Amino acid sequence: MNLVLLEHSDFIDTHRVCLKGRRLAHTLQVLRAASGDTLRVGLLDGKLGKGVIEQIDNTSMEMVVEFDADPPAKLPVRLILALPRPKVLNRLIAAAASMGIREIDLINAWRVEKAYWESPRLSEENLRLQSTLGLEQAGDTILPSIRLHRLFTPLVREELPAQLKGQVALLANPRANEDAPRKVTEPLVLAIGPEGGFIDREVETFRDIGFTEVRFGPRILRVETALAFLIGRLF
Amino acid sequence: MNLVLLEHSDFIDTHRVCLKGRRLAHTLQVLRAASGDTLRVGLLDGKLGKGVIEQIDNTSMEMVVEFDADPPAKLPVRLILALPRPKVLNRLIAAAASMGIREIDLINAWRVEKAYWESPRLSEENLRLQSTLGLEQAGDTILPSIRLHRLFTPLVREELPAQLKGQVALLANPRANEDAPRKVTEPLVLAIGPEGGFIDREVETFRDIGFTEVRFGPRILRVETALAFLIGRLF
């Protein structure tokens, strides 16, 4: 936690917050902070700043906070991601949020196991928590928006085509003939398939609506590695 | 497992292997392969090829194999990595191996907790297993060499300086003034610090022996995200 992310409901006065629960526990046990210490803070959807701990014990902490800096720019990226295994989901959402990805669409695909959609990790509460952990890691304040699409076709055939104007739309595919570009400056829509990849019919659908298949090397990487690798390469 | 990695000890005849244990279990339970199926195989430190399953049951499998292709080129990267938390180590070694990193030096640093060095995950056997999983993911056959350095100074002060000739030596530091380069073509030595970073004295040591501090954006990423992000960017 390189930043304590604050929400409006944490404020007990204009410049004073009271925290309990996860952030308190982390401050005590990991940061080992004490009264008088200064922590980096950020206001959800707002600015970065500093908080001075005025009181802290096992039940709550109070900080006087002030804000003076903008959070780092988000990456203009919309990620279209075949729903990964639940085991991987938390790390992936946190990693995506930490890199500043703006929007995440978790979609179904032929090779996504149906059971993945029943995972409690897909709850709004958990997705928000994992995103928050990513922001706190990276020093950002703006949550990515995350949407779930239990059906492939309505999103890709009906919704996406109208939304791709002025955007670069890439489909990551280790078997593509074209290399992934570098230093993309336009907003980007990046589609990443499930383990084993999108099936041919799905790839064709993406191609039909304007996606370009790109490769980023001869190696097949795990989705969490591939995502960071691609973002590092593209921006 | 996008490739079954074979060792000389698996061979029971010139073109025939017999597998048990982890690779058999994965073939049965995840790949759900049966007699007659063809699998991608690779010979440790050797070529890629194909294996046809001739017999498979719960105790063993036999394949007839042939090799015809070179593995993907390794990245000319030596990673100097402050020993991460054991929880992260397995994923990180597998990810590094999957990306084709050639050498990994796990080193001590001021902010590395001493207890990390006692983790059973540092056993030669486990490091080899995690590397193998990375190779099997990526379709590679050449293990990275991994070395452990329980002391910072002997490696960085005494060993490294003579080894940096003709290499680009970079220290990842979110607070550096210089941006990380792109498309590095020389062999690269890349140093990544622990959570919280290398301390000033350690950074100075790296600088003294010729490392350049580079930043790769305003965000502080977890080490597993940072590594893939950096490799994607640098190559």
What would the pLDDT profile of B14-37 be if each residue is shown by its tens digit? 999 999 999 999 999 989 999 999
Q: Is the pTM of this model over 0.90?
A: yes
pLDDT of B181 higher than 90: no
Q: What pLDDT is attached to residue B183?
A: 80
Q: What tens digit of pLDDT does each residue of B190-234 get?
A: 999 998 899 999 999 999 999 999 998 889 999 999 999 999 998
Q: Which of A182-196, B7-21, B59-73 has the lowest mean pLDDT?
A: A182-196
Handedness of CA A19, A25, A26, A29 (dihedral sign): positive
pLDDT of A120 higher than 90: yes
**B130 φ/ψ sector (left φ>0, alpha ψ -120 to 50, else beta):** alpha
**Strand bridging mode B188-192 / B75-82:** parallel
> Helix, strand, or coil here: A129?
helix
pLDDT of A211 higher than 90: yes
Q: What percent of chain B has pLDDT over 70?
A: 100
Sheet of strand B168-172, all strands in order from the earlier edge strand to the far edge = B145-149, B101-107, B75-82, B188-192, B168-172, B212-214
The residue-averaged pLDDT of B33-43 equals: 97
For A157, other C-beta atoms within 10 Å of its C-beta total: 13
pLDDT of B175 higher than 90: no
| Higher-pLDDT residue of B176, A100 | A100
Q: What pLDDT is attached to residue B161?
A: 95
Give the model's confidence band at B180: pLDDT under 50 very low, under 70 low, under 90 confident, else very high: confident
pLDDT of A132 higher than 90: yes
Burial, B141: exposed, middle or buried (Cβ in 10 Å; 0-12, 13-18, 19+)? buried
A→B interface, C-beta within 8 Å:
2, 72, 94-95, 98-100, 137-140, 182-183, 216-222, 224-234
| Higher-pLDDT residue of A95, A1 | A95
> Helix, strand, or coil here: A161?
helix
Cβ–Cβ under 8 Å, residues B97 and B75: no
pLDDT of A196 higher than 90: no
What is the C-alpha separation between A11 and A65, in angstroms, rounded? 10
Q: What percent of chain A has pLDDT over 90?
A: 88
Q: Which residues pair with B43 in a beta bridge?
A: B6
Q: State the nearest Cα–Cα gap between B158 and chain A, in angstroms.
A: 32
Q: What tens digit of pLDDT does each residue of B130-159 get?
A: 999 999 999 999 999 999 999 999 999 999
Give the model's confidence band at A174: pLDDT under 50 very low, under 70 low, under 90 confident, else very high: confident
Chain A residues with CB under 8 Å of B233 CB are 232-233
φ and ψ at B14, to 5 degrees?
Answer: -55, -45
Total residues found in chain B within this entry: 235
Question: In degrees, to the nearest 5, what angle opens at C-alpha A121 toward C-alphas A85 and A42?
Answer: 115
What is the C-alpha separation between B180 and A4, in angstroms, rounded? 28
CA terminus-to-terminus distance, chain A: 25
Chain B residues with CB under 8 Å of A98 CB are 219, 221-222, 225
Q: What percent of chain A has pLDDT over 70?
A: 100
Q: What pLDDT is attached to residue B137?
A: 95
For B62, other C-beta atoms within 10 Å of its C-beta total: 17
The residue-averaged pLDDT of A45-55 equals: 97
Q: What pLDDT is attached to residue B196?
A: 87
Question: B137 to each of A226, B47, B89, how far by Cα in Å?
Answer: 12, 16, 17
**CATH numbers and ranges of domains, chain A:** 4-69 (2.40.240.20), 75-234 (3.40.1280.10)
Q: What pLDDT is attached to residue A198?
A: 96
What is the C-alpha separation between B156 and B174, in angstroms, rounded? 21
Handedness of CA B198, B204, B205, B209 (dihedral sign): positive
The residue-averaged pLDDT of B102-107 equals: 98
Give the model's confidence band at A159: pLDDT under 50 very low, under 70 low, under 90 confident, else very high: very high
* Cβ–Cβ gap B100/A233 under 8 Å: no
Looking at residue A74, what DSSP letter applies? P
pLDDT of A58 higher than 90: yes
Q: What pLDDT is attached to residue B182?
A: 83
Chain B residues with CB under 8 Å of A2 CB are 220
For B186, other C-beta atoms within 10 Å of its C-beta total: 10
Closest CA to A231 of A134, A151, A87: A134
Q: Which residues pair with B200 in a beta bridge?
A: none
Which of B140, B220, B229 is closest, CB to CB, to A228?
Answer: B229
Q: What pLDDT is attached to residue A144?
A: 98
Which of A99, A216, A222 is closest, CB to CB, to B225?
Answer: A99
Q: Tokens for B60?
A: 């063993």
For B47, other C-beta atoms within 10 Å of its C-beta total: 14
* Cβ–Cβ gap B99/A219 under 8 Å: yes
pLDDT of A235 higher than 90: no
* Cβ–Cβ gap B72/A217 under 8 Å: yes
- Count of CB contacts below 8 A, A vs B? 94
Which of A138, A220, A227 is closest, CB to CB, to B138?
Answer: A220
B→A interface, C-beta within 8 Å:
2, 72, 94-95, 98-100, 137-140, 182-183, 216-222, 224-234
Chain A residues with CB under 8 Å of B219 CB are 72, 98-100, 138-140
Which of B219, B230, B233 is closest, CB to CB, to A138?
Answer: B219
Mean pLDDT of chain A, nearest integer: 95
Chain A residues with CB under 8 Å of B98 CB are 219, 221-222, 225
Looking at residue A159, what DSSP letter applies? I
Which of A182, A183, A231 is closest, CB to CB, to B229?
Answer: A231
pLDDT of B82 higher than 90: yes
Mean pLDDT of chain B, nearest integer: 95
What is the C-alpha separation between B36 and B49, in angstroms, rounded? 16
* Cβ–Cβ gap B138/A95 under 8 Å: no
The residue-averaged pLDDT of A102-129 equals: 97
